[in-house]
Amino acid sequence: NFMLTQPHSVSESPGKTVTISCTRSSGSIASNYVQWYQQRPGSAPTTVIYEDNQRPSGVPDRFSGSIDSSSNSASLTISGLKTEDEADYYCQSYDSSNRGVFGGGTKLTVL
Amino acid sequence: EVQLVESGGGLVQPGRSLRLSCAASGFTFDDYAMHWVRQAPGKGLEWVSGISWNSGSIGYADSVKGRFTISRDNAKNSLYLQMNSLRAEDTALYYCAKDSEQLAGRGWIDYWGQGTLVTVSS
């Protein structure tokens, strides 16, 4: 099986752009789609990106996703940061047996 | 409106069993795979188990394999998680989650419940 590694925390100012990385330990990042989930304190997660770079309806286009085969990683980019974006963000994919794998999560602080 | 309502959590002693339920509404339940995802206090998300629309494909995390059993009753629009031989490290908020596809692992989680808390302690 593989692991997905994220930075523990990132911080940025309102209006700026932040990128959160998610590195796959083994196997190709392109082998299985990557999803990104946002979890605000005290709330259930919600999906902000699915299938590497698709946004569910209702998610603003300030949120974008991508994968980079050279670094074997996925990235979530949030532009025009707002205080409401402050949350934990988790990347997620599936292994070859269709078992879910989550990254450890990244705490985004907007200060 | 999609609703997923978990129940069955509580305080249980190590080694005992507990059965979680998830009542689904607002969508055609038997058209989609379902998952259980848990979150230990102050920790990250951990995928626990997934089941396809017709129960034909089931998967478990290594941490629960052999102890937990996922099942569904499409006639009752319900998802279950039977948890046996519970350990302290199973203490977590357990979320029921809907997949976007019929087969777990082919889609993405598009809806989450609010979770039910399981505490394993003597």
What local confidence, expressed as pLDDT, does residue B105 receive? 81
**CB proximity A56 to B under 8 Å:** yes
Of the two residues B12 and A97, the one the predictor is more confident about is B12
**CB proximity A8 to B under 8 Å:** no
Closest by alpha carbon to B93, among B32, B46, B23, B61?
A: B46
How far apart (Å, rounded) are the C-alpha atoms in residues A38 and A59? 11
CB B10 within 8 A of CB B61: no
Per the listing, tokens 């590694």 go with A5
Q: Do A100 and B108 touch (CB under 8 A)?
A: no
Estimate the share of chain B in helix, then strand, then coil, as percent rounded to the nearest 5.
Answer: 5, 50, 45
Task: For chain B, give the longest Cα–Cα distance.
Answer: 40
Count of CB atoms within 10 A of residue A11's CB? 13
Residues A20, B110, B21, B57: is their CA dihedral positive or negative? negative
Identify the band that residue B17 occupies on the pLDDT scale cut at 50, 70 and 90: very high
Residue pLDDT, tens place only, B80-96: 999 999 999 999 999 99
DSSP string of A4-52? EE--SEEEE-TTS-EEEEEEESSS-GGGS--EEEEE-TTS--EEEEBTT
Residue pLDDT, tens place only, A18-73: 999 999 999 999 999 999 999 999 999 999 999 999 999 999 999 999 999 999 99
- In chain A, residues with a C-beta closer than 8 Å to the C-beta of B101 are none
